[in-house]
Structure 1
Amino acid sequence: MRRFTQGFYGYAVALLVCVAGAGLFLLITPQSREEHIPRLEYSITVANFGHAVPYGVWAPRQDPAGWVPNSNRIAKGEGGAQVLYLGYATAKRQHAMFAQSDERPAAGFANRMANSDKATGTRQVGGVAWEQRFREDKNQRSLVRVTPEVTLVITGTADWPELAELAAQLQQRPKG
């Protein structure tokens, strides 16, 4: 018995037992090979935001097909303005975020969300012009729309058609 607890052979046997135990554990532990993105419902956050702001809140009528809403929050912006954030994993598994705020000046909010102050063009979505911005070093695309009441920004690593797909789903809900 003593020869298995001392020297090189004892070390080798102990290592073999540990490796076999770890292998057995991995063999019998259930493993999922499917992607799991947690879905986070945002309707209550949107409703709460609607109670906190003096305008009709913008929100998607429905989520684009294959998109997973995975984050949402309300935060304070510059000057105490309320900001609503809705985050998504897109159908192509890129990131997209919708943000809105009545922060003034509107350009400051849009520039921070887009990480850029330079327009690269416009994109028509549902008959409405959205300003396009692109930040190459972050692979970040943004659609910006400024209305008299609120600034809307859709941004992320998603491609332009996916961002436009989310923009097409947005509608303003009546205040109240």
Structure 2
Amino acid sequence: MERFTQGFLGYAVAMAVCLLGVGAFLFVTPTGDSEHIPSVDYSIDAINARNAAPYQVWVPEATPKDWVPTSSRLTGQGVVTWRLGFATAARSHAMLAQSNEQPAGEFVNRMANTSTAVGTQQIGGVTWERRYREDKNQRTLVRILPDVALVVTGQADWPELATLAASLRQQPASTATPAPSPSASASGS
């Protein structure tokens, strides 16, 4: 027995036993071939935004069924900002950001990571400004209304961003009593 605990042979036997244990563990551990992207339910943030925002909130309706909502964050009191992120069918990122922050241009520039317009695009009969930041591969669609700035941005391609922008529907103003301050409502990041 003493010869198995000393020298190279003892080391080789111990190593073989360890490798067999690891191999058996890997063999019985299930692996998934399908991708899993965690999804969030943003309906509560949509309701809270309608209750808290001094503007009519825009909510995506009828996004493609293979898009996954991945994050929702509602912040503010008076100045209300809602960010809603999606993994698109191509598994790129697209985000809707809306806010009544003033001046609206500062909010838009921050969300787009650039202040330079590269053109416009018609979506559903409405003109959106296009912005592109090459070093971040970030595309952005911007629409500034009198009471709210809408930003659709991400690494998704232009058609995917246009799909998100086209899905936006302005919600009727809430007649409910305003909800408690949504200063840190978050369902993701």
Which TM bucket (shorter chain)? over 0.9
Equivalent position of 2:4 in the other structure: 4
Q: CA RMSD in A?
A: 1.2
Conserved 8 A contact 2:45-2:74: yes
Q: Distance in 1 between matches of 2:76 and 2:131?
A: 24
Query: What is the Cα deviation at residue 39 of structure 1?
Result: 1.2
Structure 1 CA distance for aligned equivalents of residues 157 and 73 of structure 2: 24
Secondary structure at 1:133 match in 2: strand
Q: Which amino acid letter does the alignment assign opposite residue 164 of structure 1? A: A
Structure 1 residue runs of 5 or longer lacking an equivalent are none
Q: 1:81, CA displacement in angstroms? A: 1.8
Gaps of 5+ in 2: 175-189
Amino acid at match of 2:43: S
> SS of the counterpart of 1:64?
coil
- Cα deviation code 1:110-148 (max 9, x no counterpart): 000000000000010000000000000000000000001
Q: Which residue of 1 aligns with 2:164?
A: 166
The 2-side partners of 1:6 and 1:75 are apart by 65
Aligned to 1:71: 71
Give the Cα–Cα distance (whole angstroms) in 1 for the partners of residues 72 and 9 of structure 2. Answer: 57
Aligned to 1:106: 104
Q: In structure 2, which of residues 148, 151, 156 is the aligned counterpart of residue 150 of structure 1?
A: 148
Residue in 2 that maps onto 1:88: 86
Aligned-partner SS, 1:4: helix
Q: Distance in 2 between matches of 1:34 and 1:59?
A: 29
SS in 2 for 1:84: strand
Q: Secondary structure at the match of 1:62?
A: coil
TM-score normalised by length of structure 1: 0.96
| Number of aligned positions between the proteins | 174
Higher alpha-carbon deviation: 161-170 or 11-20: 11-20
What's 1:19 paired with?
19
Q: Which has the higher contact order (CA 8 A, sep 6+)?
A: 2
The answer to whether the Cα contact below 8 Å between 2:63 and 2:163 also exists between their aligned partners in 1 is: no
